[in-house]
Amino acid sequence: MQSHIQLAALLLIGLAIALRPPSASAQKIIAHRGASFDFPENTLVAFRHAWEQGADGIEGDFYLTADGQIVCIHDPDTERTGGQQLMVEQSTLEQLRGLEYGSWKDRRFAGESIPTLED
């Protein structure tokens, strides 16, 4: 009987440890597509502002272009954020950089370029 009580006590202790919430220091804030609520997603301005707002990390979406460059964009084409429909994987970096990726969010971001991983 005493071994059952000890086993039950150990199980309760283990359960209490497993179910406790993580400490605040263990929680991290990752900015999805940068500070994309306020800035055009997956742009350098969005990533910079995420750091300035205190994010612990940033997360972006990446595609490989036809000429082997890694660019940061969520969609497989540029229509939503670049205003013209170019398939990212079938386009060169020069073609993709010919579009701007900020004004869809707000005119004050006009001229934002598609960033590369190197940027």
Is 4 in the active site?
A: no
Average pLDDT of 64-76?
Answer: 97
- Per-residue pLDDT for 9 more than 70? no
Average pLDDT, the chain: 87
Q: Which of 118, 107, 50, 40 is nearest to 78 (CA)?
A: 40
Phi–psi pair at 40, nearest 5 degrees: -65, 125
Closest alpha carbon to 31 in 87, 72, 68: 72
Tell me the one-letter amino acid at 116.
T
Helix ranges, the chain (H): 2-19, 44-52, 79-82, 93-97
- 32 has catalytic annotation: yes
Q: What is the pLDDT of residues 12-45, one digit of tens each?
A: 555 555 566 666 667 899 999 999 999 999 999 9
Select which of 32, 62, 77, 113 is catalytic: 32
CATH number of 28-119: 3.20.20.190
Tell me which residue has tokens 């994010």.
55
The one catalytic residue in 62, 66, 70, 74 is: 74
The mean pLDDT of 51-76, rounded to a whole number, is: 95
- Kindly report the pTM of this predicted structure: 0.75
The C-alpha atoms of residue 36 and residue 42 are separated, in whole angstroms, by 7
